Amino acid sequence: MTTKEFLINVTQTSGASGFEKTTATAIKKAFEPLCDEVTIDNLGNVIAKKKGKTEKSIMFCAHMDEVGMMVTAVEEDGKIRLSAIGGIDPRAFLYQKATIQGANKLPGFICMTAPQGETLPSTSAPKVEDLYVDTGLSPKRVKELVRPGNIVTTDRTIRDLQGSRITGKALDDRAGVAALYACAQNLGRYDHDHTVYFVASVQEEVGCRGAGVATRAIHPDIGIAVDVGFAKNPDFPTVDVEMGKGPIIAVGPNCNYNLVKKLREVSVKYAIACQTMTLPVPKGTDASVMQIQNDGVFTGVITIPLMYMHTPAETITMSDLEKTGRLLSSLVIDLDGKEFVGY
């Protein structure tokens, strides 16, 4: 399976925060041929272990959960009301095709009530509680099939754009998981000193919960969060990083200085173009909790440039994703026979 095929496969699964089981099953199956052990822990993290020649270990972590919505009520007229799971902008989800996850998958679309014959003023920003799902079914049938607590995700397939750009849902952060998959494929051609743990974590969008549990269990020497980061686009014209110019190495208090230095050395040595992003506040990625587990972990953050985050039209460049996989595997190879000193 190619990296792109893997990405298409996992983005089509439903995996809102706390409800990632279907996504985890697909990821586990894909990593099993590439790793020595693949397990799913009690919280739902997928942990794939590729043994090295020593007990030294490095953990690459990318979250598999996506933002979504949950049914809060079914009204008398059949409208299915919603609340948010994770940070969403309701404008981006309005009039999108959606699937209500339950005993049976129920198709519908997300809409809101506007005054008859009128359009909403351009200054009106809908709230999540203004949205509802219309299934086209009778109110009676809706009440038979839908319950508060059912998960709602958008129904959007991956679409190719110009060049190597692709767009779709859940690229935050299944693009990061795909980079881990690419790394595992690359390392299949090498013997390496460090034992590598590939972690597809759960519940990042609601508090980075899965990464903390996984880090405590693995007790890695080095931990790197692989996520997506804001790329320059019409909404963020002042952002310094751009699509198609390689992965982003973050710099900040969440990122061990010597590990950042090592990643930069590796990018030059193996001719992998990279960009830099400042991360002055240690939040927004799984590294924020990985860093402070056990006796402390030497952490880093690598992100894939992405436009339109937390929308059904998230957009990345496949070349950036593939280079991220190369950067990760090159780091593992370059660490062979060397002792990484964080301080």
Residues designated catalytic: 204
Could you give the C-alpha distances from 220 to 56, 213, 223, 291, in angstroms and in order? 8, 12, 6, 10
Q: Please answer whether residues 276 and 302 qualify as being in contact, where contact means their C-beta atoms are separated by less than 8 angstroms.
A: no
Where does residue 225 rank: exposed (0-12), middle (13-18), buried (19+ CB within 10 A)?
Answer: buried
Distance (Å, rounded) from C-alpha 293 to C-alpha 50?
22
DSSP calls for 152-202: EEE----EE-STTEEEES-HHHHHHHHHHHHHHHHHTT---SSEEEEEEES
Q: Is 299 helix (H, G, I), strand (E, B) or coil?
A: strand
Nearest in space to 153 (alpha carbons), one of 203, 97, 104:
97
* Sequence-separated (6 or more) residues with CB below 8 Å from residue 201: 45, 61, 62, 63, 64, 65, 208, 210, 211, 214, 286
Q: Please answer whether residues 317 and 164 qualify as being in contact, where contact means their C-beta atoms are separated by less than 8 angstroms.
A: yes
Packed helices 3-11 and 171-187: angle between N→C axes, nearest 10 degrees: 150
Q: Are strands 159-160 and 106-112 parallel, antiparallel or unpaired?
A: unpaired
